[in-house]
Amino acid sequence: MTRETFTQHVSQELTGLRRFLLAACSGNGDEADDVAQEALMKAYMASSHFEDEGGFSAWLYRIACNTLIDRGRKQMARGETLGIDKAHDVAGVSRSDDCFDYQELYQAIDGLTVSERTAVLLFYMEDRPIKEIATMMNVAEGTVKGYLSRGREHLRTILNK
pLDDT at 148: 94
* Per-residue pLDDT tens over the stretch 76-122: 777 655 444 444 444 444 444 445 556 777 778 888 888 898 899 88
How far is residue 78's CA from residue 142's CA, in Å, rounded to a whole number? 34
pLDDT at 142: 95
Contact 68, 24 (CB under 8 A): yes
Cβ neighbors of 125 (< 8 A, separation 6 or more) are 19, 20, 23
Contact 76, 131 (CB under 8 A): no
pLDDT at 88: 44
Residue ranges in the chain modelled with pLDDT below 50: 82-98
pLDDT at 81: 52
10 Å Cβ neighbour count for 45? Answer: 9
Largest interatomic CA distance in the chain = 51
Cβ neighbors of 72 (< 8 A, separation 6 or more) are 114
pLDDT at 113: 86
Burial 15-31 (b: 16+ CB within 10 A, else e): ebbbebbbbbbbbbbeb
pLDDT at 95: 45
